[in-house]
Amino acid sequence: MVKYRVEVGPEAYLPPSAACAGVVLPDPGQALIAGEVVHEDVGMEEAARRFLSAKIPTIFPGPLVLWNWNEKSVKKATAIKAMYDELKAHNPEALLIPMPDYRPKYPKINPEVEINPNHPNLTIWHNKIDVCMFVGVHCHQANLSLKIIRGGTNCYTIAMCAQAGHEDAMLTFRDATPDKIWMLVEAIKDVKKTL
Amino acid sequence: MDTKSLVGTYNKKGQKIVEPEYMLFEAPRTQEFMTGSEVVKEGIRRASVDVSIAYPITPQSEAAALVGELYVEGYVGEYFRGENEFAVMSECAGASFGGARVFTTTSGPGTLRAYENFPMWAGSRLPILINVMVRGVNSPLSIQPDTLEMGMILETGMLIWHAETAQEFLDFLLAGFIVAEEPDVHIPIAVCIDGFFVSHTKDMVMLPPADITLTPYDPYRSPVPCMDMEVPPIRMMRDPFVMKSNYISYATHASWQQEVRAACERSRKHTIRLIGGLIEEERTDADILIVSSGTAVAQGREAVRLLADEGIRVGIVKIKTIRPFPHEELRQATKNAKLIFVPEFNVAGWMAREIKAILPDNERVIAGPHVCGGMTMPPEVIVKEIKKVLAGRKEAVHG
């Protein structure tokens, strides 16, 4: 049996769920790249390289960091903004597009200013996004969205998860804390020096 | 609130809150002689349950009533009888939406009456623990053990565990809450036992102390938004309507269904950690195996003993989790087997179908023997079935 790899799409009309295809979430201190477990530091460097080499790197902050739930949310939001600023300084085409909530938007979403987990492909197609990161999105909605993206777009997905990770993303971290987000900011700075 | 920070503190009943691993593996245990229904009471006493709702139906009525006693004693936060099973399960959903740890029980026709709720629970990612004390479904009427209803809930999206004994039942109850509530799982779990055979029969059970309890449920680790009327935005929907007739909505719905199944798959890791794996196996180097779940395994054990007296060596594979189904574990456990017997307490033989679907060379799998409608399955019936097949085989089978 060939091991399933979580690769950039478009994969299929309805791609399988990575978990049902045998991909197992990482343990603490680990990350997943294409469904393979790696050390977290390796994941950080890879994410940084993907972002810095992208034409339109994009961060999709979700409700858990957009809204002022608690002190942790504020700290995470600050770190995410710093990450965006770092990417923007490197590439003026970088985008920061919020996912403010999870309701489907009818009759039509405004893809320039928001993304919605029920039809994320519309925003990605409209903006021609080739690398994106989900952060602060509830796990169910994140996985729902990542499957649709993999099925119908060619966007490389990165997921920074406060819980156990998202195996439907091409690259995922777990146990995301403000400090871990800052680690990725530092990784971006470090990789930038090598370019 | 981080419930892990509560470890070492005490609840209003003076119970010390402990890590699940301590409760399951380290806490000193004492031996008690009790029925499965009494196990429910003692399990829930130690499980920091917020809400329990039920409607009476044999054989689960006693267990639900005993949980009511815990409510009176102050161990359960809220308890009441609903109007019927559909109402009960809907009320359980409401409690779980609000962040409560929820326990309920049902049996037979009650399970079927409530049926629509189960995929709704799973699709809403509600980690409710439902104890299904299986019995016959009407008609004709039977209140005795029959696992047909388990076959009917296989595709509802719930985790499904089947306990063989009262001891296993206790451990499944305690571990079940923890596995179901993991953020990467977070779907309902049906902990099934065979009604009367386990629920009403006394057995020796090793109980952890009553002065400890599991960590409470933390709704803020949920993979979906917890309804919180105190913190904005308060109207964030758990289950947005994706009913438009277009590709986007259909794709969303399909992805959502896939995600529920993915959650079930993710539970494997946690299940292995807390209940020691999805199966248990004995003498799987034998040419003949009995593979089943619940008390069919118990009867299989007796049959193995009888066969051994005649010089026929038979191994056992017990399936503990039916969802997720132990695909790889069964393939490995049965790789040496030439004959695989699947005794079942139902007319349909759904367990044999599940097994046949995943095994190579599935002609090895013999569906049966079967009993149903509440019949017992004497071990001699299993022995007779095995010997009959052996006599009819041209190929030599050695124990």
The three-state (H, E, C) secondary structure of A18-43, written as one string: CCCCCCCCCCCCEEEECCEEEEHHHH
Question: Interior CA angle at B290 toward B289 and B291, to 5°?
Answer: 110
Region B156-168 average pLDDT: 98
Choose from A108, A139, A163, A167 for mutation: most chain B CBs within 10 A.
Answer: A139
Q: Which residues of B161-172 are buried (b: 16+ CB within 10 A; e: fewer)?
A: bbbbbbbbbbbb
- Residue A57: what are its φ and ψ, rounded to 5°? -70, 140
Tokens representing B364 are: 């090895």
Residue B268: its chain A contacts at CB < 8 A?
A: 24
Could you tell me if A146 and A168 are in contact, meaning their C-beta atoms sit under 8 angstroms apart?
yes
Q: Give B201-243 pLDDT, tens digit per residue.
A: 999 999 999 999 999 999 989 998 876 555 544 444 555 556 6
What distance in Å separates the CA atoms of residue B55 and residue B82, rounded to the nearest whole number? 6
Region B124-147 average pLDDT: 94
Could you tell me if B78 and B95 are in contact, meaning their C-beta atoms sit under 8 angstroms apart?
yes
Q: Give the CB-side neighbour count of residue A119, counting CA atoms within 13 A.
A: 23
CA B259 to chain centre: 20
CA B77 to chain centre: 23
Region B13-27 average pLDDT: 97
Neighbours of A113 (CB within 10 A): 10
* Per-residue confidence (pLDDT) for residue B322, from 0 to 100: 98
Q: Do B269 and A67 touch (CB under 8 A)?
A: no
Q: Which residues make beta-bridge pairs with B301? A: none
Residue A69: its chain B contacts at CB < 8 A?
A: 231
Residue B40 confidence (pLDDT) above 50? yes
Residue B104 confidence (pLDDT) above 70? yes
- At residue B358, what is the residue type? I
* Per-residue confidence (pLDDT) for residue A109, from 0 to 100: 85
Q: Give B246-304 pLDDT, tens digit per residue.
A: 777 888 889 999 999 999 999 999 999 999 999 999 999 999 999 999 999 999 999 99
Calculate what percentage of chain B has a pLDDT beyond 90.
Answer: 87
Mean pLDDT of chain B: 93
CA-based nearest distance A190→chain B, Å: 32
| DSSP symbol at B3 | G
* Per-residue confidence (pLDDT) for residue B226, from 0 to 100: 73
Tokens representing B11 are: 């609840």
* Per-residue confidence (pLDDT) for residue B138, from 0 to 100: 86
User: A31-45, A51-65, A119-133, B383-397: which has the minimum mean pLDDT?
Assistant: B383-397
Region B317-345 average pLDDT: 98
Tokens representing A104 are: 């489907």
Could you tell me if A165 and A174 are in contact, meaning their C-beta atoms sit under 8 angstroms apart?
yes
Nearest residue in A to B240, CA atom: A103
What distance in Å separates the CA atoms of residue B299 and residue B318, rounded to the nearest whole number? 12
* Per-residue confidence (pLDDT) for residue B241, from 0 to 100: 58
Neighbours of B315 (CB within 10 A): 23
Q: Establish if B2 touches chain A: CB-CB under 8 angstroms.
A: no
Residue B184 is nearest to which of A16, A104, A139, comparing CB atoms? A139
What distance in Å separates the CA atoms of residue B79 and residue B364, rounded to the nearest whole number? 49
Q: Establish if B140 touches chain A: CB-CB under 8 angstroms.
A: no
User: A181-195, B52-66, B231-245: which has the minimum mean pLDDT?
Assistant: B231-245
Residue A168: its chain B contacts at CB < 8 A?
A: 262
- At residue B261, what is the residue type? R
Residue B237 is nearest to which of A102, A144, A167, comparing CB atoms? A102
Mean pLDDT of chain A: 94
Residue B252 is nearest to which of A16, A101, A144, comparing CB atoms? A144
Q: Which residues of A61-95 are buried (b: 16+ CB within 10 A; e: fewer)?
A: bbbbbbbebeeebebbbebbebbbebbeebbeebb
- Give the pLDDT band of residue A104 (cuts 50, 70, 90): confident
Residue B398 confidence (pLDDT) above 50? no
What distance in Å separates the CA atoms of residue B163 and residue B192, rounded to the nearest whole number? 6
| DSSP symbol at A7 | -
What distance in Å separates the CA atoms of residue B254 and residue A84, rounded to the nearest whole number? 32
The helix (run of H) or strand (run of E) holding residue B104 is: strand B102-106
Residue whose tokens read 């309701």: A103
Considering Cα of B284, then B286, then B288, then B294, what sign does the dihedral take? negative
Residue A147 is nearest to which of B183, B186, B255, comparing CB atoms? B255
* Per-residue confidence (pLDDT) for residue A54, from 0 to 100: 98
What single string gives the DSSP state of each residue in B307-333?
A: HHHTT--EEEEEE-EEES--HHHHHHH
Nearest residue in B to A150, CA atom: B255
For chain B, positions 178-197, list CB contacts with chain A under 8 A: 182-184, 186
Q: How far apart are the first and last CA of chain A?
A: 39
Tokens representing B197 are: 């055979």
The burial of B339, by beta-carbon neighbours within 10 Å (0-12 exposed, 13-18 middle, 19 or more buried), is given as: buried
Nearest residue in B to A119, CA atom: B248
- Give the pLDDT band of residue B166 (cuts 50, 70, 90): very high
ipTM, two decimals? 0.89
Give residues with Cβ within 8 angstroms of B340, minimum separation 6. Answer: B288, B289, B290, B291, B334, B355, B359, B364, B365, B366
- Residue A186: what are its φ and ψ, rounded to 5°? -65, -40
- Give the pLDDT band of residue B15 (cuts 50, 70, 90): very high
For chain B, positions 215-254, list CB contacts with chain A under 8 A: 221-225, 231-233, 236-237, 240-242, 244, 248-249, 251-252, 254
* Per-residue confidence (pLDDT) for residue B184, from 0 to 100: 97
Tokens representing B306 are: 């009888």
What distance in Å separates the CA atoms of residue B108 and residue B140, rounded to the nearest whole number? 12
Tokens representing B256 are: 């959502």
* Per-residue confidence (pLDDT) for residue A101, from 0 to 100: 83
Q: Give A47-98 pLDDT, tens digit per residue.
A: 999 999 999 999 999 999 998 888 999 999 999 999 999 999 999 999 999 9
Chain A contacts to B (CB-CB under 8 A): 14, 16-20, 24-25, 63, 67, 69, 101-104, 106, 118-119, 121-122, 138-141, 143-145, 147-148, 151-152, 163-165, 167-168
- Residue B30: what are its φ and ψ, rounded to 5°? -120, 150
Could you tell me if B120 and B114 are in contact, meaning their C-beta atoms sit under 8 angstroms apart?
no
Residue B244 confidence (pLDDT) above 70? no
Q: How far apart are the first and last CA of chain B?
A: 57
* Bridging pattern class, strands A171-173 and A30-33: antiparallel
Q: Do A19 and B266 touch (CB under 8 A)?
A: yes
- Residue of A18, A148, A20, A147 lying closest to B247 (CA atoms): A148
Tokens representing A79 are: 């770190």
Q: Do B255 and A144 touch (CB under 8 A)?
A: yes
Residue B395 confidence (pLDDT) above 60? no
Tally of residues, chain A:
195
The helix (run of H) or strand (run of E) holding residue B386 is: helix B379-392
* Per-residue confidence (pLDDT) for residue B108, from 0 to 100: 95
Residue B396 confidence (pLDDT) above 60? no
CA-based nearest distance A100→chain B, Å: 10
Residue A106 confidence (pLDDT) above 70? no
Calculate what percentage of chain B has a pLDDT beyond 70.
Answer: 93
* Per-residue confidence (pLDDT) for residue A103, from 0 to 100: 78
Tokens representing B63 are: 């267990």
